[in-house]
């Protein structure tokens, strides 16, 4: 007998096992981190996680998130994610049942439309979603990946979800090196050795310039004096 219902706290372990069939390379989460995220999913307004139970087995699941919207007359839009059915229960209508429950929740909240993105190229996957009411080609999908996604541990990413993340590591990690053409023209930091050397050269140059001008003035005076002696009447 199939039962579709919202997920509850005791479903966490079975969901984590089922998600391995969606992505076997899914980064592992500590028990504490997984529980923290799952609690947020279950309690966050507009977030709906549905499961399909067949007896005691969790056969299929999907998650719906609705987002407030000032467009479309103020009607929210929604996103469907993490749709997966256990291989032993596929092609039996369980996946379609959880998707139908998610769409019903979206329409009940007044959503204008539900968006779905899939990286699967299998024609059977396309037919499945079309049979659930989705149309291909209405909008184009674009994905921007976090530059820190592959370098932070799962627990660090979870801690960022719980509050405002520290952006300083992100700024340091994504700062671009200064091109060589610009490095030579960069002003040195005050008090640095380079700054002191430059100042010393500048002072020496000024002294040399003053000495040269003084020598030219003395040479000019000597030439004037000799010319005056040669021109005197006899």
Q: Who has greater pLDDT, 51 or 178?
A: 51
Residue 173 scores a pLDDT above 80: no
114-146 confidence digits (pLDDT tens):
999 998 889 999 999 999 999 999 998 899 988
For 69, residues 6+ apart whose C-beta sits below 8 A from its C-beta are 75, 76, 77, 112
Distance CA 160, CA 147 (A): 14
Give the tokens for residue 202. Answer: 């500048």
Q: Who has greater pLDDT, 196 or 182?
A: 196
The answer to pTM > 0.85 is no
What is the reported pLDDT for 147? 87
- Give the pLDDT band (50/70/90) at residue 202: low
Residue 179 scores a pLDDT above 50: no
What is the reported pLDDT for 120? 86
Strand order of the β-sheet with 77-85 is 2-6, 47-54, 57-67, 77-85, 114-116
Distance CA 95, CA 80 (A): 13
- Give the pLDDT band (50/70/90) at residue 213: confident
The distance from CA 210 to its chain's CA centroid, rounded to whole angstroms, is 59
Which numeric CATH code is attached to 2-163?
A: 3.40.630.30
Mean pLDDT of 166-176: 45
Residue 47 scores a pLDDT above 50: yes
In the chain, helix, strand, coil percent, each to 5? 50, 15, 35
Residue 188 scores a pLDDT above 90: no
> CB under 8 Å, gap of 24 or more: what pairs does 165-168 form?
none
Distance CA 6, CA 120 (A): 26
Residue 206 scores a pLDDT above 60: yes
Let me know the angle formed at the C-alpha of 224 by 220 and 230, rounded to the nearest 5 degrees: 145
Mean pLDDT of 157-173: 48
Q: What does the mean pLDDT of the chain come to?
A: 80
Distance CA 224, CA 2 (A): 118
Distance CA 8, CA 88 (A): 22
């Amino acid at each position: 007998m199939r039962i579709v219902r919202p997920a509850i706290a005791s479903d966490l372990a079975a969901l984590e096992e089922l998600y391995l069939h969606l992505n076997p390379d899914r980064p592992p989460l500590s028990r504490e981190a997984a529980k923290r995220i799952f609690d947020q999913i279950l309690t966050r307004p507009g977030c709906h996680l549905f499961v399909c139970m067949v007896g005691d087995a969790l056969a299929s699941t999907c998650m719906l998130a609705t987002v407030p919207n000032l467009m479309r007359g103020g009607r929210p839009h929604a996103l469907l994610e993490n749709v997966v059915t256990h291989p032993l229960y596929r092609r039996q209508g369980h996946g379609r049942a959880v998707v139908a429950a998610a769409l019903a929740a979206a329409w009940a909240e007044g959503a204008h439309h539900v968006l779905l993105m899939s990286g699967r190229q299998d024609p059977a996957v396309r037919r499945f979603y079309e049979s659930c009411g989705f149309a291909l080609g209405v909008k184009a999908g674009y994905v921007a990946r976090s530059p820190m996604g592959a370098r932070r541990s799962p627990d660090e990413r979870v801690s960022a979800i719980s509050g405002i993340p520290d952006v300083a590591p992100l700024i340091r990690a994504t700062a671009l090196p200064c091109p060589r053409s610009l490095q030579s023209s960069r002003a040195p930091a005050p008090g640095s050795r380079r700054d002191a050397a430059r100042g010393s050269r500048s002072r020496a140059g000024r002294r040399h310039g003053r000495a040269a001008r003084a020598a030219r003035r003395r040479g000019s005076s000597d030439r004037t004096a000799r010319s005056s002696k040669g021109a005197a009447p006899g």
